[in-house]
Amino acid sequence: MTLSLYAKIAEIAERVKAQRNRMTNEAVTCSVSVKPFLRALGHDDEDARQVFPEFGADPKWSGGKTVDYAILSNDKPVFLVEAKSATVNLGATQWEQLYQYLNATDARYGILTNGLIYEFYSDRKKVNIMDRKPFLTIDLLNLDEQQVADLNPFLRSNFPPECHHDDMPPPDSSPDTFEYPIHVHIKGQRLEGMLVIDRVMNWHKQLILVRFMGELMAHTSAKSKAIQSIDPNGKSPVGAWTFWRFEHPVSGEDLPISEICLDVQNKGDLRKQLWERICSPNPTSDAIPVYGYYQGHRLEAEMLLTGLVNGFSAGSGCIRFAGKITWAKEAAIEAIRSINPDYSPMGKNPNGLSFWHVVDPADDSEHKLVDLSTHVNAPDDALRHRLLNMS
């Protein structure tokens, strides 16, 4: 039986607790904690194309020193790992060391660890400058299941397909980044920009880059510049995630970039699939069929892939009924009124996620959409995957 990511990390945590007193140098710490941690994420520490030990940084930054591990994808570093012994308290000195390594390489992410605590850093606040505070901390002595779930974007399975120098395609056939048009309306004016997409990691809840007015900047900075270009004293009540919007290439639906940039409740792998569909030159269907029942009638509608991916937690509609995209609840009311025009909820609105059903392609059984919702304790992610693969 395949262990879940949490179960794998929990096993490492138990081993670390039992051997903590022996982790007095980096070699033992790496053997007991760091290498197993990387393996739990799916990275083969015996394959130098995936895990490169003693990875060299630019001497002008690091004095010729090397970072303990670089996790590679297609021969390029995605994140760096600097390990210390368990007797070291992670602080400013260790941060400075990782800061130098991260700024000297093309890696976007850095992990600082003493085998007990894993601190994840990036350049969330300012482009190319490593933040002072980690955006994620995993404490093996006090393991938190939700924080472990946030490791999902770092799984090897979420990296793009491997392609090394011995079978490398032409340079332009598989770019590391690509751009997708975005827009915003301010006081009747439409402003346009480009969302810069990193194929490896940018669907995680970190810094997203936007090219606006010829400049590359953080999505938050682009928001401020867009507002000031129209109204120097203007402000927006919404965050940058919902300020910038894009048009779905198939449905034409106007969506916030949060639909494809944020990793909501461990759905990074699912967002990656949606991401690939949106950016595909020939995108597949944007929806799958769903069914509702009322007074013996079987009512047909479609569920947008955005709803399937985000677990119906985003602010946009996810059900298309009679050509109109709306909330599951509103779509249920419209469907019922197509049978009974005089239907009135009378304060008892139907539960849209219970009204609409989806068919499991594995056995043709029907399931309520609530079974897929991130609002429940245990959404059926296996069913979600099967539906995405079907579409």
Q: Convert the pLDDT of each residue in 305-338 to its tens digit.
A: 666 655 554 334 478 888 777 777 888 888 999 9
Q: By the 8 A CB rule, do 209 and 217 touch?
A: yes
Do 196 and 273 belong to one domain?
A: yes
Does residue 19 lie within any of the structural domains? yes
Which residue is it, tokens 């340079």? 171
Does residue 348 lie within any of the structural domains? yes
Pairing of β 319-321 and β 297-304:
antiparallel
**Last residue of some domain: 262, 279, 296?**
279
Residue with more model confidence, 104 or 364: 364
Q: What are phi and psi of 377, to 5 degrees?
A: -70, -35
Give, rounded to a whole angstrom, the gap between the first and last alpha carbons of the chain: 28
Does residue 167 lie within any of the structural domains? no
Share of the chain above pLDDT 90, in %: 26
For the cut 60, the answer to whether the pLDDT of residue 123 exceeds it is: yes
Q: What is the pLDDT of residues 251-262, one digit of tens each?
A: 667 878 876 665
Q: By the 8 A CB rule, do 114 and 85 touch?
A: yes
Q: What pLDDT is attached to residue 23?
A: 95
Angle between helical axes of 268-279 and 381-390 (0-180°, round to 10): 10
Do 227 and 329 belong to one domain?
A: no
Residue with more model confidence, 205 or 236: 236
Does residue 324 lie within any of the structural domains? yes
For the cut 70, the answer to whether the pLDDT of residue 250 exceeds it is: no
Do 210 and 307 belong to one domain?
A: no
Do 231 and 318 belong to one domain?
A: no
Do 110 and 149 belong to one domain?
A: yes
Q: What is the pLDDT of residues 49-75, one digit of tens each?
A: 899 998 876 544 444 578 899 998 877
Does residue 337 lie within any of the structural domains? yes
Do 152 and 9 belong to one domain?
A: yes
For the cut 60, the answer to whether the pLDDT of residue 265 exceeds it is: no
Which residue range is the domain that position 313 belongs to?
287-390
Do 150 and 218 belong to one domain?
A: no
Longest dimension (CA), the chain: 78
Does residue 305 lie within any of the structural domains? yes
Q: By the 8 A CB rule, do 110 and 82 touch?
A: yes
Do 263 and 348 belong to one domain?
A: no
Burial of 117 (0-12, 13-18, 19+ CB in 10 A): middle
Q: How far apart are CA 39 and CA 25, in angstroms?
A: 20
For the cut 90, the answer to whether the pLDDT of residue 89 exceeds it is: yes
Q: How many domains does the chain have?
A: 3
286-322: string of b/e by CB count within 10 Å (b at 16+)? bbbebebebeeeebebbbbbbbbbbbbebebbbbbbe
Q: Is 318 helix (H, G, I), strand (E, B) or coil?
A: coil
**What are the E-state strand segments in 122-208?**
136-139, 177-186, 189-198
The mean pLDDT of the chain is: 78
Do 226 and 137 belong to one domain?
A: no
